[in-house]
């Protein structure tokens, strides 16, 4: 059926189309054919616009674009595109130079950067200023010679360093048991003057054990306690033990510290009280952290009661007629009963 385009579009529409495009026709049929051709032609989509279509078609187009991009990025570089690195310059060290080390330390890195030789020559190592002179104590043949060279007969008091108590067989002996052995106990060590510097070379080491030991005692004060040994010729204040005697000496020091804290708890001169009970003394020892090796302050007092009671007797005879009877205190009587 033939379409009557004049009736379909209307006279006003056809005239408007002719007016816009500047075309003139003498026959209405020719004009209708031209308009029909124009209505059937679809304009081409511009390149910048996306291609319309179904979701699957669009997804396929996008995927194809991504694959092309990935392939383009994954293209390996050709040999001509990669620059050839320059080879590092190498230097051959001269004969006798030290090769730089590569252990990573800062000093070695600086040496390697400066390319210096730090090897000392034989003459530099033989300089007198580079040598360390070790001073040894002067050795005397007997105790009498050591006393004569460290103060003469002006005083029998001396200081003793590197102490070691030995029995007749030369075996180390604890101080607290030294006077209980059937055989005499002798001393070894370095004798120093009663005052002055105790530097190396100032003392006099006795060549062999001397003595025998006649007495040992503890001299108490508020600040510390001093161990004193006596022979027939002199009285020695012990400064420090010998390295080989240190283990035995440390056990004796625990007893000394225990007795010192008891003295501080009971002595009025040190701020203590003669009426202090056993529980009060135990509390003071606990606060002073004494007796850890025994498991506690009470256990330390009970296990070392004979040593502590002996020291209470020694404290009682320290100040003559005015001395307090420490063993008769509530603490002393309770400890003796335990």
- In this prediction, residue 118 carries a pLDDT of 53
Q: What is the CA radius of gyration of the chain?
A: 54
**Token pair 């070691």 in the structure block, residue:** 164
- Distance from C-alpha of 126 to C-alpha of 63, rounded to nearest angstrom: 83
Q: Which of 41-52 are b and which e, b meaning 16 or more Cβ less than 10 Å from the residue's Cβ? A: eeeeeeeeeeee
> In whole angstroms, what separates CA 244 from the centre of its chain?
29
Q: Is residue 164 helix, strand or coil?
A: strand
CA angle at residue 308 from 215 to 334, to 5 degrees? 145
pTM assigned to the model: 0.60
Domain definitions of the chain by residue range: 245-337
**Token pair 């990669």 in the structure block, residue:** 82
Q: In a structure prediction context, what are the per-residue pLDDT tens digits for the chain, which is 338 residues long? A: 444 444 444 554 555 555 545 555 566 677 677 777 766 655 555 544 444 444 444 554 444 554 444 444 445 555 445 555 555 555 555 554 544 554 556 666 666 666 655 555 555 555 665 666 667 889 999 999 999 999 877 789 999 999 999 999 999 999 999 999 999 999 999 999 998 888 888 899 999 999 999 999 999 999 999 999 999 999 999 999 999 999 999 999 999 999 999 999 999 999 999 999 999 999 999 999 988 888 889 999 999 999 999 999 998 876 555 678 899 999 999 999 98
Instruction: Report DSSP state, residue 163.
Output: E
Q: Which of 94-123 are b and which e, b meaning 16 or more Cβ less than 10 Å from the residue's Cβ? A: eeeeeeeeeeeeeeeeebeeeeeeeeeeee
């Amino acid at each position: 059926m033939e379409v009557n385009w004049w009736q379909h579009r209307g006279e006003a529409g056809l005239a408007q189309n002719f007016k816009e495009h500047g075309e003139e026709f003498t026959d209405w049929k020719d004009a209708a054919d031209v308009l029909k051709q124009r209505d059937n032609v679809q304009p081409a989509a511009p390149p910048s616009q996306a291609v319309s279509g179904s979701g699957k078609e669009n997804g396929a187009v996008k995927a194809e674009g991504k694959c092309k991009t990935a392939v383009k990025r994954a293209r390996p570089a050709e040999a001509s595109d990669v620059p050839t690195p320059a080879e590092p310059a190498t230097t051959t060290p001269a004969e006798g130079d030290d090769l730089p080390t590569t252990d990573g330390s800062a000093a070695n890195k600086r040496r390697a950067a400066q390319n210096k030789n730090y090897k000392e020559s034989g003459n530099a190592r033989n300089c007198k200023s580079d040598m360390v002179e070790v001073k040894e104590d002067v050795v005397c043949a007997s105790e009498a010679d050591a006393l004569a060279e460290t103060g003469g007969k002006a005083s029998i008091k001396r200081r003793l360093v590197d102490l070691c108590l030995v029995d007749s067989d030369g075996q180390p002996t604890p101080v607290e048991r030294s006077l209980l052995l059937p055989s005499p106990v002798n001393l070894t060590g370095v004798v120093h003057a009663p005052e002055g510097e105790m530097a190396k070379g100032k003392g006099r080491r006795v060549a062999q054990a001397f003595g025998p030991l006649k007495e040992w005692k503890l001299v108490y004060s508020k600040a510390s306690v001093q161990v004193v040994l006596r022979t027939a010729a002199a009285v020695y204040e012990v400064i420090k033990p010998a390295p080989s005697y240190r283990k035995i000496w440390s056990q004796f020091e625990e007893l000394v510290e225990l007795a010192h804290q008891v003295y501080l708890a009971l002595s009025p001169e040190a701020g203590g009280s003669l009426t202090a009970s056993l529980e009060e003394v135990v509390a003071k020892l606990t606060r002073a952290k004494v007796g850890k090796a025994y498991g506690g302050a009470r256990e330390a007092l009970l296990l070392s009661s004979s040593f502590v009671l002996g020291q209470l007797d020694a404290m009682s005879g320290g100040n003559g007629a005015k001395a307090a009877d420490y063993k008769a205190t509530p603490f002393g009587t309770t400890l003796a009963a335990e």
